[in-house]
A and B are shown apart, each in its own frame.
Chain A
Amino acid sequence: MAGEPTESARGGRAGGAVTGGRKRSGAVFPVLAAALLGALALSAATGPVPISFRAAFDAIFRGTDDTAARVLLSLRLPRALLGALVGGALASSGVAFQALLRNPLADPYILGVSGGAAVGALTVALFLSADASPLLPLCAFAGAALSAMGVFLLARRRSGVSPERLILMGVVVGAFLNAVIMLMVTLAPPGKIPGALYWLMGDLGLGTPRRVAVLFPYVALGTVLLYLLSRGLDLLLLGDHAAFQAGLSVERVKTATYLTASLLAGSVVAVSGLIGFVGLIVPHGARVLVGSGHRRLLPAAFLLGGAFLVLSDTLARAASPAGELPVGAVTALAGAPFFLYLLRRNGRRA
C-alpha cells in the first residue's frame, strides 16, 4: 500500500482519523507538560518574601507553618494554579470559538462574554458596598452567561445559527455593553474606579485556595466536554452544509460547543477579570505544534495556554518596579513577539 501514516499518528493515543501530523508531534505533549510544570515552579519561586528551597521543602513535606510556608502555600501556589487553569481554559475556549465561527480571529470574548462579565462585575464593584465583594465572581459569571445567551438567541433563526450572524450579533451586543460600561464608569463614585479598572485589565491576584477550588470543576468539566466534541469541531471547519452532509448533527454540536466554550470563558472571567490575547493566539501556537486535529489541539492548547499565562504572570510580578502590572498587559507585550516568531517560522517551512 502506498503511503505510510507517520508513526506519531499511529502511536497509542486514540487519535482521530489518520492525521499525517508533523513529524515531531510525538514529543510535543511531554515537552508542553514539562513547560507547564516548570512555569508553575518558577512562579512559586518568585516574589518579594524570600523563600529558600529548604523552607519550601519543609512547607510542603513537613507542614511547617512559618511565614515562608504560608506565603508559598496560600499565596503563591494558588496563584500559579489559578494561572494554569485560567490560561488553559481561555486557550481551549479560544480553540472552540475559532472552530465554531470558522474564523481564526475569534477569541473567547467575541460573543458577548467579556461585556456581560464586565457589567456584572462592575455592578458589584462600583455600586454595592465593599462587603459585597464576594458576590463579584458570581455576578460576573451571571453577566457573561446572560450576554452569551442573548447573543445566541438573537442570532438564531429557523435555519439554525450561522457563524456570520453570531459574529454580527456578538459585535452589536458587545458594543451595547461597552456603552453601558462607559456609562457606569462615568457615574461611579470616583474612589472606586481604580479597583474596577484593574479588574477589567485582568488580575490573578485574587488567587486563593478557595477560588482555585471553585474554579477547578468548571474548567475540568468544560475542557472535558470540548475534548469529547473534538471530531465535531473538526467537521465544523468544513462548513455547516458539508458537516451536515458528512453526518454531523450540526445544530446540536454548535449549541453544545457554544455553551461549553462560553461557560469556560465566563467562569474564568468571573475569577480573574478580562485577560486578553491568550484565547486568541495560543490556539494558533498550538496548531503550529500539533496541527488542526482537535483531539490533539485541545490538550496542547490547554497546556500551552496554562504555561504561557503562568509565565506572563511571573514576569508581571517580577519585572515591575511599580508594584504589580496587570497580567493582561504582559500577555500581549511579551506574547506577541513570541507567537509572531512561532507563526513566521511555521510559514517559512512550507
Chain B
Amino acid sequence: MGRVRIAVARLVLGGFLPVLLLASAIDRPVFAADRFPLALKDDRGVTVRLAAPPRRVVSLAPSLTEIVFLIGRDGSLVGVTRFCNVPAAASGLPKIGGVIDPDIERIVALSPDLVLCTTDGNPRDKVRALEEMGIPCFAAAPQDLGAVFTAIERLGFLLGAADRGRAEAEALRLRARLARPPSGDAEKPAVLFVVSTEPIIAAGEGTFMDELVRLAGGRNVAARFSGRYPRLSVEGLVAARPDVIFVAGMSGVERFPSDVTRWKEVPAFRDGAVVTLDGDLVTRPGPRLVTALERVSAALAEWRASRPKVPAAGGRGER
C-alpha cells in the first residue's frame, strides 16, 4: 500500500511539475532566450510579430528611447522624438517630430521595421496609419513602477536583447527595493508634489509622483482630491500643511513666490523642506523613475532623521 502511494505521489509530482512549469510559461512569456520569429502582445492587446531582431527602430516617446539605450539596443534606433534628450547621444539621432505630433512621412522615410509607441500621448490614428502601411507598432505604456520593469524586460525580448533586458530590470528592482524605507512604524510625512507653483498644480492619485511618495513612505496630501492633477489655492496648501514639498520643475527652476513661502505654518516652508526635481525624472515611465524614487526617499529619510526622537510606543504616523 505505502509503495503504491509513493509511486502515485512520484507520478503525480513528476507529471505535475512540468505541467506547472509549462502553465506558467504559457501565461508569462519566457524571457530566457531570444526567440525569433516572435509574437508578443503589446499594451493595447495588439499582437506584434517579428521575424528577426529589428534593425531599424523608431521611438515615439522619450521614456521608450531611454529604455532602448538602457538595454544596449540604441544601435538599432534610427529615429526619435525631439524631446528624447537622455542619454545625450539620443539628441543626435534623427528627429521625427514630437510625442503628440509625430510626422508620419518622416517616420516612413526612415523605413523602420519596428515603431515603439505609447498610448499615453501618441495619437492613435497616426499609429494606425503606420500599421496600415505595414510597419509594426508596439505600444508600451507602463502605469506604475512595477510595470516599468516589466516593460524593460518585454522590450528587451522584442529587440533581441532579452537577457540584457532582464538583467537591467532586476538591477532596477533591487535599487527600488533598497530605496524604500524599512517597514515598520517609520513616520509618514505629509508630502505635496507639485508640477507647477503658479498656479499650484499638485500630483494626485494615479500619477507616478503619487506612487513614488507612497513607496518612499510618505503620505500624498493631494490624493484626497479627485483627478490626477488637482489645482490648489494657496489656502488649500496652507490647510494641508505638508511636511515636505517636491517641485517637479517642468521648465527650469520653479520656485514658489515669496507670498506663498511666507506661510510658516506650513512645515515645509518653515523648515525649508522644499526639494526641486527635474520634471522629466518623475513623469517619464522609464528607468530614471528609480532615480527619482531614490531622491524622494533620501529627502524623506532626511526629514525623518531631523525629527525629534520620541519613545517607540505610540506610533506617530497620523497627523
Chain A residues engaging chain B, CB cutoff 8 angstroms: 47-49, 67, 70-71, 74-76, 129-131, 133, 186, 189-192, 194-195, 198-199, 203, 205, 208, 317, 321-324
Q: A322 and B235 in contact (CB under 8 A), knowing A130-B251, A203-B199, A208-B259? A: no
User: Which residues of chain B are within 8 angstroms of A130 by Cβ–Cβ distance?
Assistant: 197-198, 251-255
Q: How far is the CB of A51 from chain B (nearest CB, A)?
A: 10
Q: How far is the CB of A272 from chain B (nearest CB, A)?
A: 12
**29 examples of A-B residue contacts, CB within 8 angstroms:** A48-B238, A48-B240, A49-B235, A67-B265, A74-B259, A75-B234, A75-B238, A129-B253, A130-B198, A130-B255, A133-B198, A133-B257, A186-B101, A189-B250, A190-B83, A195-B196, A195-B198, A195-B199, A198-B231, A199-B199, A205-B199, A205-B234, A322-B225, A322-B226, A323-B222, A323-B230, A323-B231, A324-B231, A324-B236
Decide if B232 touches A323 in the complex (CB within 8 Å): yes
Q: How far is the CB of A288 from chain B (nearest CB, A)?
A: 34
Q: A48 and B235 in contact (CB under 8 A), knowing A191-B250, A191-B279, A203-B199? A: yes
B233 at the binding interface (Cβ < 8 Å): yes
Decide if B239 touches A48 in the complex (CB within 8 Å): yes
Chain B residues engaging chain A, CB cutoff 8 angstroms: 83, 101, 195-199, 201-202, 222, 225-227, 229-236, 238-240, 249-255, 257, 259, 263, 265, 279
Q: How far is the CB of B170 from chain A (nearest CB, A)?
A: 32
Decide if A194 touches B201 in the complex (CB within 8 Å): yes
User: Which residues of chain A are within 8 angstroms of B199 by Cβ–Cβ distance?
Assistant: 195, 198-199, 203, 205, 324
Nearest chain A residue, comparing its CB with the CB of B256: A130
Decide if B195 touches A321 in the complex (CB within 8 Å): no
Q: How far is the CB of A209 from chain B (nearest CB, A)?
A: 9
Decide if A191 touches B197 in the complex (CB within 8 Å): no
User: Which residues of chain A are within 8 angstroms of B197 by Cβ–Cβ distance?
Assistant: 130
User: Which residues of chain A are within 8 angstroms of B222 by Cβ–Cβ distance?
Assistant: 323
Q: How far is the CA of A76 from the CA of B235 in the complex (A)?
A: 8
Q: Which of B230, B234, B235 has the most CB of A within 10 A?
A: B235
Nearest chain B residue, comparing its CB with the CB of A325: B231
User: Which residues of chain A are within 8 angstroms of B232 by Cβ–Cβ distance?
Assistant: 323-324
User: Which residues of chain B are within 8 angstroms of A71 by Cβ–Cβ distance?
Assistant: 235, 238
User: Which residues of chain A are within 8 angstroms of B233 by Cβ–Cβ distance?
Assistant: 47-48, 75, 205, 317, 323-324
Q: How far is the CA of A322 from the CA of B206 in the complex (A)?
A: 13
Q: How far is the CA of A192 from the CA of B249 in the complex (A)?
A: 10
Q: How far is the CA of A275 from the CA of B265 in the complex (A)?
A: 32
Q: How far is the CA of A158 from the CA of B127 in the complex (A)?
A: 57
Q: How far is the CB of A79 from chain B (nearest CB, A)?
A: 8
Decide if B235 touches A191 in the complex (CB within 8 Å): no
Nearest chain B residue, comparing its CB with the CB of A75: B235
User: Which residues of chain A are within 8 angstroms of B239 by Cβ–Cβ distance?
Assistant: 47-49
Q: How far is the CA of A186 from the CA of B197 in the complex (A)?
A: 22
Q: How far is the CA of A198 from the CA of B225 in the complex (A)?
A: 18
Decide if A191 touches B230 in the complex (CB within 8 Å): no
Nearest chain B residue, comparing its CB with the CB of A50: B239
Q: How far is the CB of A116 from chain B (nearest CB, A)?
A: 22
- With beta carbons under 8 angstroms apart, the residue of B238, B240, B251, B263 that contacts A191 is B251
User: Which residues of chain A are within 8 angstroms of B257 by Cβ–Cβ distance?
Assistant: 133
Decide if B236 touches A322 in the complex (CB within 8 Å): no
Q: How far is the CA of A190 from the CA of B251 in the complex (A)?
A: 8
User: Which residues of chain B are within 8 angstroms of A194 by Cβ–Cβ distance?
Assistant: 195-196, 201, 229
Q: How far is the CA of A321 from the CA of B205 in the complex (A)?
A: 13
Nearest chain A residue, comparing its CB with the CB of B255: A130
User: Which residues of chain A are within 8 angstroms of B252 by Cβ–Cβ distance?
Assistant: 129-130
User: Which residues of chain B are within 8 angstroms of A75 by Cβ–Cβ distance?
Assistant: 233-235, 238
User: Which residues of chain A are within 8 angstroms of B231 by Cβ–Cβ distance?
Assistant: 198, 322-324
Q: How far is the CA of A67 from the CA of B232 in the complex (A)?
A: 18
Q: A321 and B225 in contact (CB under 8 A), knowing A47-B235, A75-B234, A195-B196? A: yes
User: Which residues of chain B are within 8 angstroms of A189 by Cβ–Cβ distance?
Assistant: 250-251
Decide if B227 touches A323 in the complex (CB within 8 Å): yes
User: Which residues of chain A are within 8 angstroms of B201 by Cβ–Cβ distance?
Assistant: 194-195, 198
Q: How far is the CA of A276 from the CA of B254 in the complex (A)?
A: 30
Q: How far is the CB of A240 from chain B (nearest CB, A)?
A: 44
Q: How far is the CB of B225 from chain A (nearest CB, A)?
A: 5
User: Which residues of chain A are within 8 angstroms of B230 by Cβ–Cβ distance?
Assistant: 322-324
User: Which residues of chain B are within 8 angstroms of A195 by Cβ–Cβ distance?
Assistant: 196, 198-199, 201
Q: How far is the CB of B220 from chain A (nearest CB, A)?
A: 13
Q: How far is the CB of B4 from chain A (nearest CB, A)?
A: 67
User: Which residues of chain A are within 8 angstroms of B255 by Cβ–Cβ distance?
Assistant: 130-131
Decide if A323 touches B202 in the complex (CB within 8 Å): yes
